[in-house]
Amino acid sequence: MADFPLISPMGERAILIDFGQDYSPEKLRELLFYKKLLEKELLKETVEVINTYNSLLIIYVFTIEDIYSEVSKLKGLFKNANIPKKINSQIFYLPVCYDEDFGPDLKLISEEKNIGIDEIIRLHTTPLYQIYFIGFLPGFLYLGGLDERLHISRKKTPRKSVEKGSVGIGEKQTGIYPKSSPGGWQILGRCPVDLFDKNMDPPTRFSAGDKIRFYSVSKDEFFKIKEEVENGNYELKSETYESGN
């Protein structure tokens, strides 16, 4: 078995650091610790470090001159690191309207899983979802922690357009469409809060390591929040918490 993390070049402008197949919130903490360390040790202006479930990728603005010495420098960094047990992160509370007008697949999920719609809502709003990373589309959050009872396969034929803010389930994952786009997830509701605003810096409030909890709102509340979001006076509920062993 290979020794993890595995550090190897991915083309002339990126180095991939692979932490093995499994993933968990604990492993994410380790990844994010190394990510911070890399950002500190490597010149911030010339690289960007991104993480996924089980890997880090260092992207260089310019081609790497000497890949061998860069890789061995990184190996040294990883050898000497002390991973802290606890880190601070944020919990965000996101409103979702689980009305059938916004959740066209609620009935289908209910029938296929033999769970009442109220129970679907309860199961979906109970977990503290872990944000593993943002990818796929600008502002799309990869969330972990969906209740097994809600795991459901994607649509055989994806919809041509899924409305912005739609909350859906695809296999073991749940997530929110940050903009209208084609998509194959089963849609159970809609969130009135913008996940990505290109004119903000940073363009999203959320980062890898943060957590999210959904709460159910009525249609009236949905439109009220939507209006506040559009007028720029909506305040997203959040709190800081310490995670760790």
Partner 1 sequence: MKAEIEVLQPGLFSSIQDLGRFGYQKYGVPQSGVMDRYAMRVCNLILGNPQDASVLEITFQGPQMKFNAATAISISGGDLSPILNDSPVSLNEIIPIHRGDVLKFGTRKSGFRSYIGILGGFQTGELMGSKSWYESLTDDFRLRKGMKLLFFSKDMEERKTHSHLKTDLNYIGSTEIETYPGPEFGELSAQQRQKLFSVSFKTGKNSNRMAVQLEEDFENELEPIITGPVVPGTVQLTPSGRLIVLMKDCQTTGGYPRILQLSEKAQQVLAQKMPGEKITFKKVEY
Residues of this chain that interact with partner 1 (CB under 8 A) are: 8-14, 16, 18, 21, 23, 48-57, 59, 61, 63, 67-68, 133-140, 142, 178-179, 181, 196, 198, 201-204, 207-208
Q: Between 125 and 181, name the residue whose CB sits nearer to partner 1.
A: 181
Q: Which helix (H) or strand (E) holds 21?
A: none
Q: Which two tokens stand for residue 70?
A: 């860069």
Min CB(70)–partner 1 separation in Å = 11
Min CB(88)–partner 1 separation in Å = 18
- Residues 97 and 182: their CA atoms lie apart, in Å, by 21
Q: Between 78 and 228, name the residue whose CB sits nearer to partner 1.
A: 78
Q: Between 96 and 195, name the residue whose CB sits nearer to partner 1.
A: 195
Q: Which of 1, 133, 12, 2 is nearest to 71 (CA)?
A: 12
Q: Which two tokens stand for residue 111?
A: 């029938």
Q: Between 200 and 218, name the residue whose CB sits nearer to partner 1.
A: 200
Q: Which two tokens stand for residue 119?
A: 């129970």
Min CB(96)–partner 1 separation in Å = 21
Min CB(224)–partner 1 separation in Å = 28
Q: Between 63 and 80, name the residue whose CB sits nearer to partner 1.
A: 63
Min CB(95)–partner 1 separation in Å = 22
Residues 6 or more apart whose CB falls under 8 angstroms from that of 135 comprise 52, 142
- Residues 217 and 94: their CA atoms lie apart, in Å, by 10
Q: Between 85 and 198, name the residue whose CB sits nearer to partner 1.
A: 198
Within the chain, strands assigned E span: 6-9, 14-18, 47-51, 55-60, 86-96, 129-134, 141-144, 159-162, 166-170, 173-176, 181-183, 186-190, 211-216, 237-244
Residue pointed to by tokens 């194959």: 184
Min CB(152)–partner 1 separation in Å = 18
